[in-house]
Structure 1
Amino acid sequence: MMMKDMMSKDMMSMPGMDSMDMALMQACMDACSACEQACTVCSTQMMDCSAACMNCADMCNTMMRAMLRMQGMTPPAMMAMLDACIAMCQVCMDECMAHADMSEVCRMCAESCKACMDACMAMKDSMMAMG
């Protein structure tokens, strides 16, 4: 909660970010974290999806870190990062769904990727509504 309060104060001073929905941002960071963890576990399964899972884990980690480090982050840069995270989650979800009937881990990873995509899309929609 303290981090959320600090982020809110820092963000209020940034042009274009003063009306950011902090609850959506927190939900997006939480979804990125969960997706990173699921993809990391899934990448160890030695399925064809392992490369996509590793890449998705890295992208989710980068997205989450960028959202935590708001100084210097501009709305266009944030939108580009959200687009990249959504795209990587889609690739990973599609790959994992191909194995979901054979692997519970792949099924959970695909679900986590979908949740992350949804959270990133909600964040992006909120930012678009601000602009």
Structure 2
Amino acid sequence: MDAMMMDAMTPEMMSMEGMPAMDMKMMQACMDACAACEQACTVCAGQMMDCSVACMNCADMCNTMMRSMMRMSGMTPAAMMAMLDACMAMCQMCMDMCMMHADDSPMCKMCADACRACMDACMAMKQSMMA
């Protein structure tokens, strides 16, 4: 979500029923982390190591999470929490697989680091939604 779109959103547009207004900077950070993780996983999957399937699945999940956050309209708090949980679970699985190769592959190390950053951003987003 670019700065112009974020500036145009009113507090009513940023809130979901039953939750306070979304922290747009935190949401942007989460979307950026998802995008970075998606890219790292896509590159890592190209190595065709035994982590490639996990990387491709994680890339898809991160892309879906990012796209869902960009169209908050209609997203319920329960659905957003479930999406964040799913994204964190997929990143954890991918990170664990890539860490097995991290000593031999700088690409797997980069991917694992991106997965960790994405999990941290999703957790921060989830905690801000529960506050």
Amino acid at match of 1:19: A
Residue in 2 that maps onto 1:114: 116
Kept in 1: contact 2:20–2:129 (CA 8 A): no
Residue 18 of structure 1, CA deviation: 4.2
2:103 to 98, 101, 104: 101
SS of 2:46's equivalent in the other structure is: helix
CA shift, 1:17, in A, is 4.3
TM-score normalised by L of structure 1 = 0.93
Cα distance, 1:3 vs structure 2: 2.1
Q: How many residues of Structure 1 are paired with residues of Structure 2 in the alignment?
A: 128
Which consecutive unaligned segments of at least 5 residues does structure 2 have? none
Distance in 2, Cα, partners of 1:31 & 1:111:
11
- SS in structure 1 opposite 2:110? helix
Distance in 1 between residues matched to 2:10 and 2:43, nearest whole Å: 32
CA apart distance, 1:16: 3.0
SS at match of 1:45: coil
CA distance in 1, matches of 2:47, 2:33: 22
Residue identity matched to 2:14: M
**For residue 118 of structure 2, what is the amino acid of its counterpart?**
C
* Contact kept? 1:93, 1:109, Cα under 8 Å: yes
1:33 aligns with 2:17: no
Q: CA RMSD in A?
A: 1.3
Give the fraction of aligned pairs with identical amino acids, expressed as a percent: 75
- Matches for 1:26-105 after TM superposition, within 5 Å: 26-105=28-107
Q: Say if 1:8 and 1:102 are closer, same or farther in 2 by CA, change over 3 A.
A: farther
Spell out, residue by residue over 1:13-69, the C-alpha distance to the aligned partner (whole angstroms, 9 max, x if none).
x42344211111010000000000000000000111000000000000000000001
TM-score normalised by L of structure 2: 0.93
Letter in 1 for 2:21: S
Give the 3-state SS of the residue equivalent to 1:20 in structure 2. coil
Contact 2:54 2:94 in 1 (8 A): yes
Unaligned runs of 5+ in 1: none
Letter matched to residue 11 of structure 1: M
Alignment partner of 1:11 out of 10, 14, 22: 14
